[in-house]
Each structure stands twice: as C-alpha cells, then as structure tokens.
Structure 1
C-alpha cells in the first residue's frame, strides 16, 4: 500500500534471493535490447554501471522498423497517439489534419492510416476513419490467447532470465506500490516491463511479438476500469518472480495463467454489477 516501507512490502510479497545470486557491489545488470518491430530480445550481462547504457524495457523505447521511411514514421506516431489515449475511441481521424500536424504530404499518412485499419486500431466506414473502441469481448478473447502464450513463455524464460533481471522487475513492482498516486501511465510502464521482459526472455521472438501486440490492444481497455486489481496484480507478479527465482517453471506457468485469468474474472465482474 502507498506509504509502506520496502521492508513491509517485501514481507507481504516475498521473493527468495540467495546472497550469492545478487548483483555484485558496484555493478548493475545491464540489458542490451535488439529491436525487431518493437519486439525486445534481451541479451543480459553484468557490467559496471553506466547510466547511458543501462536501458530499461519501456513501451516508449520502441524503435520503428521503418525509421527513415515517412509512411513508417507516420504509422508509429499515430499508433502512439492511439495507445497513449491522445486519440480516444470513436475520434474521427482526418488524413489532411494528421498530415499537417506531422508536416508530411498526405500520401504517406494515407498509407499509415490504412495499416492502422489493418491492425484494428482504426476502423473505416466509407471515407470516414475513426479510432476503434476495444470491446469487452475482445479483451476477454485476447486474455485467452495471452494465457496460452505467456504460460508457455514464462516456462522458457525461467531457465534463461538472469537473477539480476528478476531483481530489477521485483524492485519496479515495489516502487509502484509505494507511489502515493498511481497513474495509468506508471501502471502501464511497470506492467509492460514485467510481461514484455519475461516474453522476450523466452527466446522465442514470435511469441514475444504476439504477446506485445496483444497487450497493446488490451491497453486501450484501461486498468482504471478494474482498479481493484492493482494491488493483487502486483502480488501475483511477485509470486511469479519468486517461482522463476526458484527455477520452478511449472509453478511459474501456473501462476502466470492464474494471474491472467484473475484479470478476466475482474472484467467479467464489472459486467455483473
């Protein structure tokens, strides 16, 4: 809960850490990310702390595969507007206005909007293009797929991820619970780091790519619709990290699937009110 000390939170949400597995004094686990259309494949190694080199997994660090390509840049920018909530559901997106805002001609913007329609973030009715609203049934279907993918992904990641990275993920969970006011963005950053890092650590790029894309779709639903899941979700994350620390891949998988089912149950609960 906000205001609690790290010691109290650690007691409520224990993570087994052997002394000899901690990151050496004066060092920090650095993470080098290779990007493939926003999919992160971590290569983890210990090295002296370098603030410039120490990169945390964050949705804001996505690198467009179309960098230097005007259509690709427009696609990534408008996509970010949608995912960040700058363009809300059912907002009409006018090609000319987007082009003016980006300082581009209409041709690359038109191509970008077509791609976003194809991804389901926009919908087109005749000549009108609007931001797609994600339906509750869409979220529930996505969560079914995520249970399958992330349940398998965490099994693979358990034997590949480093103890230092588990420490980093755990500390981010603790820091979030200590915040007096948790914003939607802060929640997303921590939640995304947890799920995306584990998916990437599976070593399966296709799995990681699909997990990331499915998560971004559910992001449009908004965690503020199920605020009662905030603290339980953090505790469930800690339990998963503990199982990974103990190299118990089966338990980690079971806990991950249970965690995502709890999210689905909470969403269903809002419909029953």
Structure 2
C-alpha cells in the first residue's frame, strides 16, 4: 500500500512538472499508456494522477481523452487578481519575518539572474525560484499552500511574459525593489512592489496575447 501511495504521488508530481516546464502545453492530449512509458510508472498511479489533475482543473475532458487545460480571458484576469494579492501578502510577511540568511539568498538570486538575460526559459525558471523563496520567507504555511495552487494554474499559460522584449530587464529591476523593501523590513513597500510587479507582468501578457490573436486573425 505504501509503495502504491508513493507511486501515485510521484506520478502526479512528474506530470505536473512536465506541464509546468512546457513539455505538455495547453491543448496537448495526455495518453495514459504513453505517460506510463515516459515516466517508468505503472498505469494505475498514472490514472489516479490524471484524475487528480482533472479535479484541480489542470486537465479537461475532450470526449474520452484528457487534454491540458487553457485559460480564457476572464480566467486569466481572475488568476492575476488573486496572484497579485497573495504574492503581495507574502512579500509583506517576508518583510516582517525573513531571516538575514533568507534576505541574502534573495540578493544572491537577483545577482545571479542578471547572467540569464537573453535566455527566457532560464529566466522563467529563475523567476519561479525567486517567488518561491519569498513565499517561504513569509513563514506562513497556509499562504504557501494557496500560492502553490495559484502557481499550478500559471503552468496553463502557453508562454512566459518574460519572453517579451525588454521584460527580463524590467523583471530584475522590479525584483530588486522587492528585495530592498523586504531587507528594510518595510511591509507596505514590499507589498506594493510585488503587487506592481505582478500587474506589470499581466499587462505584458495581455499585449502578447493580443499580438498572437492578431497574427492568427
């Protein structure tokens, strides 16, 4: 029974990571047998993992098949509203509770990320690590759980806003403002800096989506 539970958890995490890293993108069909072969896991935990992902709305039914979900305009707006408030709260709490070591890690991340400009995929991964570090620095387990759910839904976005021209540099400047506020223990400034950061990312995404729609039209 224990092995079955471990396989189920591993299958879920493997599929979720594959969606998060763009191996499977919105609209892609997930086939149980192919997933089992790819990940070296039996079909039963794969099936259970797919059911869990469907329950979380990360997958949706298309006839008898499951495909990776996508977000419409309204869902995207709702997601960014929630993300902005929760991320801002995490920054506010981090300003109160982050240890000197956690602040140092954030600064080190920021410095290292300057070397990733021009590599949108690497910048996107670094951006997730940076935000995750702020979540952890909030020292609030319930907030971290909710942010994990939000970031799972972010995996349903086919592209990263960091891929937009100039967005990498803007992201790093915004991250620097967030870290400065957290290091100063200024919760209000940290909240506003991170909420503005999410708002700017949302504006960039809307522009990218508009251009993509125009190109298709």
2:124 aligns with: 188
Matched, 1:257 2:195: yes
Structure 1 stretches of at least 4 aligned residues deviating more than 4 Å after TM superposition: none
* SS of equivalent residue, structure 1 residue 244: helix
Counterpart among 10, 34, 37 of residue 97 in structure 1: 34
Spell out, residue by residue over 1:113-140, the C-alpha distance to the aligned partner (whole angstroms, 9 max, x if none): 1111112221112311112233444333
Task: Structure 1: state its 5+ residue gaps.
Answer: 1-65
1:253 and 1:180 map into 2 onto residues whose CA distance is 25
Query: How big is the shift at 1:69?
Result: 2.1
Counterpart among 111, 116, 121 of residue 48 in structure 2: 111
Counterpart among 49, 64, 70 of residue 133 in structure 1: 70
**TM-score normalized by the length of structure 2:** 0.84
1:208 aligns with: 144
Query: How big is the shift at 1:104?
Result: 3.8
**TM-score normalized by the length of structure 1:** 0.68
Q: Which has the higher helix share?
A: 2
Query: How big is the shift at 1:225?
Result: 4.9
* SS of equivalent residue, structure 1 residue 159: helix
1:217 aligns with: 153
2:214 aligns with: none
2:102 aligns with: 165
1:80 and 1:154 map into 2 onto residues whose CA distance is 25
Spell out, residue by residue over 1:11-33, the C-alpha distance to the aligned partner (whole angstroms, 9 max, x if none): xxxxxxxxxxxxxxxxxxxxxxx
Say if 1:104 and 1:87 are closer, same or farther in 2 by CA, change over 3 A: same
Matched, 1:230 2:168: yes
1:45 aligns with: none
Say if 1:152 and 1:101 are closer, same or farther in 2 by CA, change over 3 A: closer
Matched, 1:267 2:205: yes
Structure number with bigger Rg? 1
Spell out, residue by residue over 1:91-118, the C-alpha distance to the aligned partner (whole angstroms, 9 max, x if none): 2211122223344443222111111111
Worse-superposed segment, 252-261 or 127-136: 127-136
2:14 aligns with: 77
1:243 aligns with: 181
Asked whether the 8 Å contact 1:154–1:256 carries over to 2, the reply is yes
Query: What is the number of residues matched between the two proteins?
Result: 207
* SS of equivalent residue, structure 1 residue 134: coil
2:84 and 2:117 map into 1 onto residues whose CA distance is 31
Task: Structure 2: state its 5+ residue gaps.
Answer: 212-217
